[in-house]
Amino acid sequence: MVEKTDGVTTVLHPDICVIGGGSAGLSLAAGAAAFGVPVVLIERGRMGGDCLNTGCVPSKALIAAARHAHAVRKAAEFGVSAGEPVIDFEKVHAHVRSVIAAIAPNDSVERFTAMGVRVIEAEARFVDRDTVMAGGLTIRARRFVIATGSSTIVPPIPGLADAGYLTNETLFDLTRPPEHLLVIGAGPAGLEMAQAHRRLGAKVTVIDAGRALSGEDPELARIVLDRLRGEGIVIWEHALVLAAEKTAGGVRLQCETETGSVTIDGSALLLTTGRRGNTAGLGLEAADVGVTANGIAVDASLRTGNRRVYAIGDAAGGLQFTHAANYHASLVLREILFRLPARENRDIVPRATFTDPEIAAVGLGEDEARRRYRQVNILRWPYAENDRAQAERATGGLIKIVAGRRGRILGVTIAGAGAAEMINMWSMAIANGQGLRHVRGAVAPYPTMTEIGKRAVIAYYTPLTRKPAVRAIIRLLRRFG
Ligand SMILES: Cc1cc2nc3c(=O)[nH]c(=O)nc-3n(C[C@H](O)[C@H](O)[C@H](O)COP(=O)(O)OP(=O)(O)OC[C@H]3O[C@@H](n4cnc5c(N)ncnc54)[C@H](O)[C@@H]3O)c2cc1C
Ligand SMILES: NC(=O)c1ccc[n+]([C@@H]2O[C@H](COP(=O)([O-])OP(=O)(O)OC[C@H]3O[C@@H](n4cnc5c(N)ncnc54)[C@H](O)[C@@H]3O)[C@@H](O)[C@H]2O)c1
């Protein structure tokens, strides 16, 4: 990398300058370095970003602890006596920290420096279309990639700031369980954390202005919501939080629900009200980079209004998943390194919410498929018809497959045990334009829950067995012995 010092400032001239060392930025920097391309990565906080420090990793570690507590409570159903679990929240917290610590070296400054990435630990800011300043250094790169992540949207609820609230940035620092956790926002983040805390001994109330899990097919979302309610979580849907206030015991919310006004007292409040791409302080105006209500304005190739600048991951204000961030990084890298046109295809990006049961989906939902195509077939198969699900006592679940003409797979949603793992097969099928016949032709080991999808597909072909033409062929062939 060309580096010039004029006695006052040092100017770096990499091919690529990445702003943000979270899932998106690290993925892009690692890919560029692997091809020997000079790359600068600027990170103002902790390497690994949200996913490692305050998102996926701590939340999944907490969920794992909660699942063990739940398994102890449920053990009697299997003839194993265990009683009520003893939960040491400080040790749960230590478990969460140790999982982060185990993964952190993969995202460390040392590892990336060893790969050949020049890591600058400072805040980055554009000063013009082609220049970023960070930590007293000037970076003039051929291409810039903004990967600054997102932050919780704080709703304008009167009294909220004074009442005090937790977000994903502070939730995992708790070393004592909240007695009664109030959660505003019943999306993936809110419901995952609601169930984890409930299973770890807290009372939990969730409030949403709209439908809970509104991004998912209502038929399948209902399976998850029924289970959560069955575990004692109170979920208010279509409820407006009008005001918040601090109380001696914690926090009080005044809500307007479908059945009237309700006052809810809790000991702590968590906001999981959606996330907006981080744009503040980046000097985007100087770089001619536009913003939207969700984050940085990009086109389908993740390019901003400034042709040299891309935005990827949560910052781009679209899909907000670690795997989407990695996908974005691969698309932009393809375009920068090989000049191959990049085009984001959201239909191939799966999503999974790690409640129990999980809900996972890829491709089009039924409504969207009906909007786009004239002929749509809906296939369903319940977990209760699967032998493994019976053995595991995990019969509450359903797969729903949306197929088009000639059995092309358009979308799949699964609510049930192992849904996040099971969706992989369908992601692969959709990404490769495959149809139901490809699934029919594959053999799934018995007894596994993967068979649930295959059974749905076989049911789709069952009417074939009754077709007169098919039966006539069989009759004809029987004559030959
Ligand atoms: C509670 C929770 C659970 C989640 N669970 C999952 C899950 O199970 N699966 C999943 O796929 N996704 C999950 N997500 C979403 C996932 O965490 C994000 O999609 C992912 O982290 C986005 O990566 P990113 O690189 O775009 O942003 P980030 O990881 O946020 O990284 C952005 C980085 O940029 C840095 N930065 C910002 N501005 C500047 C600046 N001006 N200069 C220098 N550096 C800057 C920040 O410090 C940060 O480190 C979860 C999110 C939350 C909140
Ligand atoms: N398993 C996962 O992959 C996972 C887990 C957590 C988060 N995430 C990602 O992080 C992002 C943020 O997640 P999230 O669940 O916070 O966002 P979300 O946008 O999915 O859900 C936010 C919810 O908050 C509600 N809401 C917003 N303002 C409100 C208000 N004032 N009063 C009541 N309800 C209000 C909305 O109606 C919505 O249902 C998502 O894009 C998600 O994909 C992913």
Q: Are residues 29 and 147 in the same domain?
A: yes
Average pLDDT (38-54) is 98
17: in domain: yes
Domain end among 344, 359, 376: 344
CA 245 to chain centre: 31
User: What pLDDT was estimated at residue 50?
Assistant: 98
Query: Are 380 and 405 spatial neighbours (Cβ–Cβ below 8 Å)?
Result: no
Instruction: Please tell me the distance from the alpha carbon of residue 198 to that of residue 444, in angstroms, as a whole number.
Output: 35
Query: Are 423 and 360 spatial neighbours (Cβ–Cβ below 8 Å)?
Result: yes
Distance from residue 382's CA to the centre of ligand 1 (Å): 35
Indicate the number of domains in the chain.
3
pLDDT, tens digit (0-9, with 9 covering 90-100), for 415-460: 999 999 999 999 999 999 999 999 999 999 999 999 999 999 999 9
Instruction: Please tell me the distance from the alpha carbon of residue 168 to that of residue 8, in angstroms, as a whole number.
Output: 40
Query: Worst-scoring range by mean pLDDT, 5-9, 10-14, 351-355?
Result: 5-9
Annotated binding site for NAD(+): 185-192, 274
Distance from residue 144's CA to the centre of ligand 2 (Å): 29
Q: Is 176 exposed, middle or buried (0-12, 13-18, 19+ CB in 10 A)?
A: exposed
User: What pLDDT was estimated at residue 338?
Assistant: 96
Annotated binding site for FAD: 60, 148-150, 314
pLDDT confidence of 481, banded at 50, 70, 90?
confident
Query: Are 32 and 40 spatial neighbours (Cβ–Cβ below 8 Å)?
Result: no
Q: Are residues 9 and 141 in the same domain?
A: yes
Q: Are residues 180 and 314 in the same domain?
A: no
Annotated binding site: 60, 148-150, 185-192, 274, 314
Specify the residue with its C-alpha closest to ligand 2, atom 42.
Answer: 320
Domain end among 216, 241, 273: 273
Specify the residue with its C-alpha closest to ligand 1, atom 48.
Answer: 49
Q: Residue 427 is part of which domain span?
A: 349-466
User: What pLDDT was estimated at residue 3?
Assistant: 74
* C-alpha to C-alpha distances, 57 to 161, 176, 252, 354, nearest whole angstrom: 27, 19, 30, 12
Instruction: Please tell me the distance from the alpha carbon of residue 394 to that of residue 371, in angstroms, as a whole number.
Output: 34
Give yes or no for residue 5 having a pLDDT over 90. Answer: no
* C-alpha to C-alpha distances, 5 to 12, 135, 138, 139, nearest whole angstrom: 9, 15, 10, 12
73: in domain: no
Q: Are residues 179 and 203 in the same domain?
A: yes
297: in domain: yes
307: in domain: yes
97: in domain: no
Instruction: Please tell me the distance from the alpha carbon of residue 16 to that of residue 30, in angstroms, as a whole number.
Output: 12
pLDDT confidence of 7, banded at 50, 70, 90?
low
Q: Is the CB of 63 under 6 A from ligand 1?
A: no
The DSSP result for 287-300, as a single string, is: TT--B-SSSB---T
Q: Is the CB of 354 under 6 A from ligand 2?
A: yes
pLDDT confidence of 4, banded at 50, 70, 90?
confident
CB-CB neighbours of 431 under 10 Å:
15
What are the φ and ψ backbone dihedral angles of 358, each rounded to 5 degrees? Answer: -75, 160
188: in domain: yes
Distance from residue 50's CA to the centre of ligand 1 (Å): 4
Question: ipTM of the assembly?
Answer: 0.98
Domain end among 344, 371, 386: 344
pLDDT, tens digit (0-9, with 9 covering 90-100), for 170-193: 999 998 999 999 999 999 999 999
Q: Are residues 382 and 459 in the same domain?
A: yes
Q: Which residues have C-beta within 8 Å of that of residue 114, sequence separation ≥ 6?
A: none
Q: Are residues 379 and 452 in the same domain?
A: yes
Which ligand has the shortest distance to the CA of 41? 1
62: in domain: no
pLDDT confidence of 6, banded at 50, 70, 90?
low
Name the pairing type of β-strands 398-403 and 351-353: unpaired
pTM of the model: 0.97
